[in-house]
A and B are shown apart, each in its own frame.
Chain A
Amino acid sequence: MNGLIYQVQDLTKTYNGKPILRVDRIDVRWGEIFALVGPSGAGKSTLLRLLNFLELPTGGRIHFHDVEFGADRPMALKLRRRVTMVSQRPVLLNRSVWDNVAYGLRLRGQRDAASQIDAALAQVGLTALARQRARTLSGGEAQRVALARAMVLEPDVLLLDEPTANLDPYNVGLIEETVRQLNRERGTTLVLVTHNVFQARRLAHRVALMLEGRVVEVADVQTFFDAPRDPRTAAFVRGEMVY
């Protein structure tokens, strides 16, 4: 291993003939928190779907665990299961909270995982709601269930797409703390999409700016915020970018 869990090369994605993504190069290191920031429509969610191997790219490759993923090379289930995404809008199954968290484990044939599920629920502060139907939860609670449901699988990589958009400060704090703990204690690699630069600054080790499907700059968090190379990064960080 060379310390890189993902190596993205010349990755492109086209929808209906319209190029959406053109990433020449991005690396993600083992055990880091990597933030993707950028305005709406920049292609952040699209990149995450590709990092989760949910769609095939139009061109280029992603090396994951030194296995190649490309237009004609879908990712094997076993490795795909090492990555889990929490989507931009939490989509819960119409079952109890507990069953939602148990879902991914059941897919893997694990039925005797009650203690793991309880632990995951406790970590996001939802033990009391375990029996409640997931569809009746508030937005913040739902997002926390989605996070617990992904965490319980102990993936190598957790992809978080705007995990705190539209949430109140209490839920934001709780989710950020959970993410930090996960990274610190379990060594989980995190790719975090956010258009909140403050959140990127609070959580990330390295940050990348995406604009119109391209990666403009990748730098460690200090450099990204204090001495960016690209003037567009500087503008984005100062909140001057129009979007």
Chain B
Amino acid sequence: MEIVTLSLRVSGTALLFSTVIGIPLGVGLGLSRFLGRRLVIALLYTGMGFPPVVVGLFVYLMLSRSGPLGGLHSPLIPALFTPAAMVVAQCIIAFPLVAGFTMAAVMGVDPQLRQQVLSLGATRRQAALTVLMEARVGVVVSIIAGFGSIISEVGAVMMVGGNIEHRTRVLTTAIVLETRKGTFDLAIALSVVLLALSFLTNVLMLRLQGRTFDE
């Protein structure tokens, strides 16, 4: 049970951060034209397809005691083999997905809509929010995609978290471990929990999409 809670806590926190970074980034890229926009988009697309193990390696190197960030010993920088370190890795995996899908959704909204909304007296901020509302279906998909990519991810959490019992063991790493040990029934049980969890969050998201987003 604590494994389930930790999985949800780590991925939930990572998703929260990814959403907070990814949605404004996606809206900005979708609505404005600036120098270097294409480059940022190219980087984002690369980020969307980044292998999680590579992200894991990168975060590992950055956070390890001899790494550039770990060496600072700042209280703001999480140590390796902690849930916080796993959150960092999962953020890096999920936020490009959230930003990329949000951008696509925003760009799919009729460009004349923004102008019409400005004409009705919207500030730039209000106009961006309205466009985001119009793109709500795509935005919810972006959040679901982000969540899916990290709740089911093994490589990065394994490397950065270390799969320590009671501390950093999450559903996916537990499944790997139990399978290796040959305790298939437990592995299968955990897998079913993981699937059920994904399903439930998606149902929740869809309800959110239908209600709050649809004022």
Interface of A with B (CB < 8 Å)? 49, 52, 54, 77, 80-81, 83-85, 87, 89, 91, 93-95, 99, 103-104, 107-108, 149-150, 153, 159
Contact = CB atoms under 8 A, between A and B. Distances in A.
Contact of A150 (B113, B120, B126, B214): B120
* A interface: dominant SS: mixed
B120 to A, nearest CB: 4
Given A94-B134, A99-B215, A107-B126, A89 B112 contact: yes
A95 B123 CA distance: 20
B110 interface: yes
A103 B112 contact: no
A91 B120 contact: no
Given A93-B130, A99-B215, A84 B119 contact: yes
A94 B134 CA distance: 6
Interface string B34-61: 0000000000000000000000000000
Contact of A54 (B113, B118, B214, B215): B118
A81 B113 contact: no
Given A93-B130, A94-B134, A95-B215, A54 B121 contact: no
Interface in B69-120: 110, 112-113, 115-120
Contact of A93 (B112, B113, B121): B113
B121 A80 contact: yes
Contact of B120 (A77, A94, A107): A107
Contact of A153 (B115, B120, B130, B214): B120
B122 to A, nearest CB: 5
A52 B214 CA distance: 29
A83 B119 CA distance: 8
18 contacts: A80-B121, A83-B119, A84-B119, A84-B120, A84-B121, A87-B112, A87-B115, A87-B116, A91-B110, A93-B117, A93-B133, A95-B215, A103-B130, A107-B121, A107-B123, A107-B126, A153-B120, A153-B121
Interface residues of B, number: 18
Nearest to B137: A94
A149 B120 contact: yes
Q: Choose among B117, B121, B122, B123 the residue with the greatest number of A CB atoms under 10 Å from its CB.
A: B121
A100 B29 CA distance: 26
Given A54-B118, A99-B215, A91 B123 contact: no
A91 B112 contact: yes
Contact of A108 (B113, B116, B121): B121
Contacts of B110: 91
A104 B112 contact: no
B215 A87 contact: no
Contacts of A84: 119-121
B174 to A, nearest CB: 43
B118 A104 contact: no
B119 A54 contact: yes
B147 to A, nearest CB: 25
Q: Choose among B118, B126, B134 the residue with the greatest number of A CB atoms under 10 Å from its CB.
A: B118
Contacts of B112: 87, 89, 91
